[in-house]
Structure 1
Amino acid sequence: MTGLDRRTLLAGAGAASVALPLAAVHGATPARAETRRATVRTGADVLAADGWRGLSEGRIGVFTNPTGILQNGRSIVDEMHESGNVDVVAVFGPEHGFRGTAQAGESEGDMVDPRTGIMVYDAYGANATSLAAMYREAQVDTVVFDIQDVGARFYTYIWSMYTAMVAAADEGVAFTVLDRPNPIGGTPRGPMMTPEYTSGVGAHEIIQAHGMTVGELARFFNADYLPRNGGATVDELTVVEMEGWRRDMLFEETGLLWVLPSPNMPTPDTALLYIGTCLFEGTNLSEGRGTTRPFELIGAPYVDHRWAEWLTARELPGVLFREAYFNPLISKNAGVINGGVQVHITDPEELDAIRVAVEMLIGLKELYPEFQWRYDSWDTARPYWIDKLTGSPRLRNQIDQGASADTVISSWKRETAEFASRRRRHLIYR
């Protein structure tokens, strides 16, 4: 399918995905609305304001997607190309593609970008060896990475960056990160990945909500993980820092434009919940893909009003659970009515999305014998997807054995603290 055909198809799907009219409760106060006027300048904006001077020498390859924009809303690739100050010879497109026309688990393929005439390489799923071959073919001297992350270990863009760095180290190519905010803030939370359960949704031992920017992660990867695997490090690693971002900022306080980092990440609120409710990918419930509120609408055909009532009785801070019914257009349970909840954020500052997800899973296990963990028969050694998302079988086993949410969450308290200490020397923003 051509890029144009795919874009036409996705536009039609977007228009159709109105499942049920749903009003989100954002809980924004006038004070928080006022903070939206605060100005954060991304690394891309900082570099553009300097006439792209930091990239004025050599052949440049850009690893980006539709989130790689300036504050004027334009793609950094288009701006670099039109400036005449940067010799962009290649673009590397991650999952969903450079222009963002592909769905989850898909890419746009190799193509010549019709707007700029620049060669676009399909980097989704590429390993370091194949990425290094792309670098050689394009004869790049520097790879620039500019993609908006959402702060979750299982969001694949940070692992695309890691692989791109390994390839750059192997080829002796410089690597520059144009930094962007972590939209859910800088607080580390959740369980640690274990070596036995690493995968494309968690290639190394970091915790579920790492609380770092991509620039900070690049420093962390280069110092700790590239050498650990017996490989070289990136000799010329540059992080173009943001101006005005603090670790306690949520995205709505930055004043930046929110561009969907992927088709199922429509709002900053989605990102705030995703760090927890993405765990429903590891169950037989729909996580809301194929609706207008992915990762906020959670349900299955067997779920009824009791789940919303059970969750409401928990009185969890920062959220409200509304009984909801929806019919996803794609993905799990598509084409049937799912009962469940919509998770409304009432106070982003109080929200702990990982705890919310744990409580939701415990309630399902207690109420519904039909609840199941997703079982992937293609991976006989590690068949449960939830184990790859959480980093080990621990959470699944604890919930199956009837553990409380406090027990589950306290089990990773020490490893969260250890990670917070280990990452400290790589942090840029205080």
Structure 2
Amino acid sequence: MRLGLDLFLEKYYEQFKGKRIGLLTNMTGVNEKLFPTIDLFFEHPHINLVALYGPEHGIRGDAKEGEAVESSIDPYTGVPVFSLYGASKKPSKDMLDPVDVIVFDLQDIGARYYTFIYSMAYVMEACAEYGKEFVVLDRPNPISGVSIEGNLVEEDVRSFVGLFPIPNRHGLTVGEIAQLYKHEFGIDCDLSVIPMEGWERHMYYDETNLFWVPPSPNTTGLDMSILYPGTCLVEGTNLSEGRGTTKPFEYVGAPYIDGYKLAKAFNQNDLPGVLARPVSFVPTYQKHKDSICEGIQIHVVDRRKVQALKTGLILLETVAEMYPNDFHFNEYPNGKYFFDLLAGTTRLRNEILNGRSNIFLESCEEQIVQFEKQREPYLLYK
């Protein structure tokens, strides 16, 4: 298969000769031989790269989740880097003045919480406002483009981890999402998508000829990405989601948990495609830093059967039932919950606490059908 990047460098760049190019990318912007998009653009005789734009975690991926990133000068090329995860998440007129075109080349991981697709949305909005062209170099959805899971984000809980009504696992590539933004969500910028060649919807990332480059410090690999549409919800609770360990979003636990009992209770649900084993771990940062946590590691047995959202919800429901006096959802000082932003609804917390996750999942089915119809015209890989 060939990336949108390959095809852009081979022929599509000719459409942009003489134009000033900005590049929204990070360390995942590489070709199949791991040459960075930044270098390939900077050294190309007919591409005038004048600005770089960096998403969450920075252009080189050295910032932690939620950590503000300053604008800077790229030390390798001398090109200015405008941060889209600092003072503003949406580029200002001054940030776009140096360019005529912004090219997007970032690797998404297939879940709606992942902020790169919202950086893309904000840049598309700014391009529409200030008359700039926007080009997406398409990359694979690493967890395939077939399965869809979850609910559509409700209006009153939209945020930078759920900005539009898309499900937890959306089954789209970034190029397809960009078209959805333009034609369904009203971001009417001058959009071009350079599709891949040879990618098919059923393919997982390890079925391509590409090396996995972690898009952020805790996106460690394919199993983590498969589970993430469900286990990311753990972030909104007082459980550790395994940040600060070698298996984030695969390890889940807390100091108050008995890992053996939790693994046994979780496995009794006989969830498709996964098995749990008890683990003990000490997070090196974030929740329960330097404390011994017991819990489980969720192992992917059959990735084509995994229902990540159901897996995450049943895990939370099991913990809530076993440890009603210890488990809780983390609350902001203003009385709101980060969990609601991740869940895309204020309803799910109570469903978990009352053992009604399956009822919630049943209510998602109609929304999934709705989303499948909505996305159908924009699928580039049938």
Give the TM-score range, shorter chain.
over 0.9
Provide the C-alpha distance between the structure 1 equivalents of 2:303 and 2:15, rounded to a whole number of angstroms: 37
User: For residues 116-142 of structure 1, what are the alpha-carbon distances to aligned partners after superposition, in whole Å with 9 as ceiling and x for unaligned?
Assistant: 111111111565764332001x2x110
Q: What is the aligned-residue RMSD (CA, Å)?
A: 1.5
Are residues 54 and 73 of structure 1, via their aligned partners in 2, closer, same or farther at CA, if it must alter by over 3 Å?
A: farther
- 1:214 is matched with 174
Provide the C-alpha distance between the structure 2 equivalents of 1:99 and 1:299, rounded to a whole number of angstroms: 30
Provide the C-alpha distance between the structure 2 equivalents of 1:132 and 1:331, rounded to a whole number of angstroms: 36
CA contact (8 A) 1:101 1:108 kept: no
AA matched with 2:332: D
The CA deviation at 1:428 is 1.0
Q: How does 1:245-264 map to 2 (within 5 A)?
A: 245-264=199-218
Secondary structure at the counterpart of residue 343 of structure 1: strand
Q: How many residues align?
A: 379
Q: How does 1:64-75 map to 2 (within 5 A)?
A: 64-75=25-36
Question: Of residues 188, 193, 206 in structure 1, which corresponds to 2:148?
Answer: 188
The CA deviation at 1:51 is 8.0
Provide the C-alpha distance between the structure 1 equivalents of 2:23 and 2:82, rounded to a whole number of angstroms: 10
Question: Of residues 281, 287, 296 in structure 1, which corresponds to 2:250?
Answer: 296
Provide the C-alpha distance between the structure 2 equivalents of 1:352 and 1:364, rounded to a whole number of angstroms: 19
Provide the C-alpha distance between the structure 2 equivalents of 1:127 and 1:416, rounded to a whole number of angstroms: 32
Question: Of residues 116, 120, 123 in structure 2, which corresponds to 1:157?
Answer: 116
CA contact (8 A) 2:32 2:209 kept: no
**1:274 aligns to 2:274 (yes or no):** no
User: For residues 237-269 of structure 1, what are the alpha-carbon distances to aligned partners after superposition, in whole Å with 9 as ceiling and x for unaligned?
Assistant: 110000111111111111211101000001122
AA matched with 1:424: E
AA matched with 2:366: R
The CA deviation at 1:226 is 2.7
CA contact (8 A) 1:146 1:177 kept: yes
- 2:165 is matched with 205
- 1:346 is matched with 301
Provide the C-alpha distance between the structure 1 equivalents of 2:287 and 2:263, rounded to a whole number of angstroms: 20
AA matched with 1:428: L
Provide the C-alpha distance between the structure 2 equivalents of 1:418 and 1:127, rounded to a whole number of angstroms: 33
AA matched with 2:262: W
CA contact (8 A) 1:98 1:108 kept: no
AA matched with 2:210: L
Q: How does 1:218-257 map to 2 (within 5 A)?
A: 218-226=178-186, 233-234=188-189, 236-257=190-211
The CA deviation at 1:105 is 1.2
Q: How does 1:407-426 map to 2 (within 5 A)?
A: 407-426=359-378
User: For residues 5-58 of structure 1, what are the alpha-carbon distances to aligned partners after superposition, in whole Å with 9 as ceiling and x for unaligned?
Assistant: xxxxxxxxxxxxxxxxxxxxxxxxxxxxxxxxxxx2110122223384344330
- 1:392 is matched with 345
Provide the C-alpha distance between the structure 1 equivalents of 2:69 and 2:43, rounded to a whole number of angstroms: 23
Q: How does 1:22-101 map to 2 (within 5 A)?
A: 40-50=1-11, 52-101=13-62
Secondary structure at the counterpart of residue 77 of structure 2: coil
CA contact (8 A) 1:131 1:164 kept: no
Provide the C-alpha distance between the structure 2 equivalents of 1:45 and 1:193, rounded to a whole number of angstroms: 34
Return the TM-score normalized by structure 1.
Answer: 0.85
CA contact (8 A) 2:159 2:341 kept: yes
Bigger shift: residues 42-51 or 66-75 = 42-51
**1:116 aligns to 2:77 (yes or no):** yes
AA matched with 1:394: R
Q: Which runs of 5+ in 1 are unaligned?
A: 1-39, 228-232
CA contact (8 A) 1:287 1:295 kept: yes
The CA deviation at 1:363 is 0.6
Q: How does 1:132-171 map to 2 (within 5 A)?
A: 132-136=93-97, 138=98, 140-171=99-130
Q: Which runs of 5+ in 2 are unaligned?
A: none
The CA deviation at 1:84 is 1.9
The CA deviation at 1:115 is 0.8
